[in-house]
Structure 1
Amino acid sequence: MGLTRSFGPLSPHAPVTVNYALDGPPHKLLMHPFPRRVRAVAGGRTLLDTRRGTLVHESNLLPVLYVPEEDVDTSLLVPSDHTTFCPFKGGATYRSLKTGDTTVENVVWTYPEPIEAAAWLRGLVAVYWNAADAWYDEDEQVFAHLTDPFTRVDIRPASRHVVVTHTAPDGLETVLAESGQAGSSGQPMVLSETGLANRWYLPRDDVRVTLAPSDTRTRCPYKGEAVYENAELPPDVVLTDAFWHYPDPLPESARIAGLVSVTTGARDDGSTVTVTVDGEPG
């Protein structure tokens, strides 16, 4: 993620502010060892258990774990006729996962004869993340994907004036939250995640509208499980999943505990939610 997106060196649009040149195609691949044991469990069985995993970074994609075939329980796999072709890796063959009476189609793939430029993929297999019931990095369960050693999440307190505004289709503006000025309850935090725009996290008491629970949940391997809330604006406007927070963030993101952030951009009803920081787009 850190290498292949945005301004990363393996991005198709890598920055020109460098004193070197990368000799390669716009679509780049890089593989390196993953430093810890990884396990995947499906149907109560260990599908994958490896200390020899590797991460393959591919332009514009999240890194994917590839492991030696010997580290996968092939007794849980059944043949599939499905195949795909990647111009950067070659032809892929697939196998399906069978546990008990349940079969999940085409969840494990390999490149039996990868193209010469990716010959190092020979003998390695990959598993779709959602095919397993649980993944473990050493003994800690992880969600969404493995963490990328080239990605950082930095959280810093900021003496900045942060304003969250909702603009209705008719131009009516409503301040949803405001932090970092006299009268606000605390200090905003800025969260910088490699390759992504800054996110601002504000004290809950600085939200000026009513928040109501939403059923939406998302998971981040760097921050934990996010819980979303709807914003209720008078007289009868509801902004679905407008705010989110991490009730129990992972230790490395503990500083955002008790703070809320906001979903910005255009909404389905034609309205927009924006963040300004010291009067500038944030």
Structure 2
Amino acid sequence: MGLSWQQGPLGTGAVGRFLVPEVLPDRLLFAEPLRRRMRVQFGGRWIADSEDVVLLHEPARYPVAYFPLDSIEPGVLTAADRTTQHRDLGTTTWYTVTVDHNSKPRAAWQHTELPDYANELSGRVAFAWRAMDAFYEEDERIVGHAADAYHRIDIRQTSRHLVVCDGDRVVADSKRPLVLYESGFAPRWYVPRDDIDESTLTPVDGQTFCPYKGLCSYYDIGTAHQAAWGYEDAWTDVRRISGLVSFEPDKVHVELDGTQLGLEPGQAVISHGVDRDLTVEELSG
């Protein structure tokens, strides 16, 4: 997902490679200015507000936003009796975040003995995403993690023939699926409801979310658990997939133009779950 997650170029499962004469280190960290105003809310108050946020991309991790100390409300951070060692960035000091009667231990951290090559993070603090009430870019809430500027989604209409079967039963048959290309993932095929035998889909309790697409609902197909999913009300940038359904090719039989699809690199997704036990109503609000 984006620069350093999944099959991104700095990810641990990158599908491409850098064309350079020397072997690169196993781990490359990348820090850059976010160039967006970001705010953090906790205990009903804004506790950080900055246009000078630095985003850290670390292999196999979501991007992390680091705020300058002078952008954080005084008295919010209390140093905890805890330090750890980051394998690349040295000693990490942890903080308790407190606002009035609301307190979260180890909810923020700072790399306090940075090597010279990582001075972009000097004097900066990151907040644990799940411990905070919310993060915002300007006046719009960001869920899951800081948005990755290298993450891209393209949706294309196609006339290719997609067939989904559960044993001998045809679940879907469409010559008008949408294909969704997402950074770091293999293509995903979404089918209109009119081309699906909806009696084969059994809704599953619980939803997860994608920071780029919205709330995701799941379906069992026969004995195949969570073999299909869809976004009933996909977010604005990907509105075209709203109400459509996609299928897991390792759980049910999926054919594209007569060729059976399998689980490709980048197709296994680690879902976010619901951020800090966020309710559907809160997330939608």
Q: Same fold (TM over 0.5)?
A: yes
Deviation at residue 48 of structure 1 after TM alignment:
1.9
| SS of the residue 2:238 aligns to | helix
Give the Cα–Cα distance (whole angstroms) in 2 for the partners of residues 98 and 205 of structure 1. 52
| Bigger Cα displacement from structure 2, 65-74 vs 126-135 | 65-74
Q: In 2, are the aligned partners of 1:216 and 1:241 still within 8 Å (CA)?
A: no
1:275 equivalent to 2:254? Answer yes
Q: In 1, are the aligned partners of 2:218 and 2:227 still within 8 Å (CA)?
A: yes
Deviation at residue 154 of structure 1 after TM alignment:
0.4
Give the Cα–Cα distance (whole angstroms) in 2 for the partners of residues 164 and 250 of structure 1. 26
Matching residue of 1:208? 197
1:245 equivalent to 2:230? Answer yes
Give the Cα–Cα distance (whole angstroms) in 2 for the partners of residues 240 and 216 of structure 1. 13
Q: In 2, are the aligned partners of 1:42 and 1:132 still within 8 Å (CA)?
A: yes
Matching residue of 2:94? 94
Deviations along 1:76-99, one digit per CA (max 9) or x if unpaired, are 233211222112111101011223
Among 171, 186, 193, the residue aligned to 1:176: 171
Matching residue of 1:262? 247
- CA 1:15–1:218 in 2, change beyond 3 Å: closer, same or farther? closer
Matches within 5 A, 1:80-119: 80-119=80-119
- CA 1:47–1:165 in 2, change beyond 3 Å: closer, same or farther? farther
- CA 1:247–1:87 in 2, change beyond 3 Å: closer, same or farther? same
Matching residue of 1:198? 187
Matching residue of 1:228? 218
Deviations along 1:151-204, one digit per CA (max 9) or x if unpaired, are 1100001111112233xxxxx454332211xxxxxx100001011111111011
Deviations along 1:54-86, one digit per CA (max 9) or x if unpaired, are 111112222111111112224223321122211
Could you tell me the TM-score, scaled by structure 1's length? 0.83
Deviation at residue 206 of structure 1 after TM alignment:
1.9
Letter in 1 for 2:214: G
Matching residue of 1:34? 34
- Listed as ranges, the gaps of 5+ residues in structure 1 are 167-171, 181-186, 266-271
Give the Cα–Cα distance (whole angstroms) in 1 for the partners of residues 188 and 108 of structure 2. 35
How many residues matched?
Answer: 260
Deviation at residue 146 of structure 1 after TM alignment:
2.4
**Structure with a larger share of its residues in strand:** 1
Letter in 2 for 1:276: E
Q: Percent identity?
A: 37
Give the Cα–Cα distance (whole angstroms) in 2 for the partners of residues 152 and 29 of structure 1. 20
- Listed as ranges, the gaps of 5+ residues in structure 2 are 262-285
Give the Cα–Cα distance (whole angstroms) in 2 for the partners of residues 25 and 6 of structure 1. 18
TM-align CA RMSD: 2.3
Give the Cα–Cα distance (whole angstroms) in 1 for the partners of residues 13 and 215 of structure 2. 31
- CA 1:14–1:245 in 2, change beyond 3 Å: closer, same or farther? closer
| SS of the residue 2:113 aligns to | coil
Q: In 2, are the aligned partners of 1:89 and 1:117 still within 8 Å (CA)?
A: no
Could you tell me the TM-score, scaled by structure 2's length? 0.82
Among 160, 183, 188, the residue aligned to 2:177: 188
Q: In 1, are the aligned partners of 2:174 and 2:195 still within 8 Å (CA)?
A: yes
Q: In 1, are the aligned partners of 2:54 and 2:121 still within 8 Å (CA)?
A: no
| SS of the residue 1:145 aligns to | coil
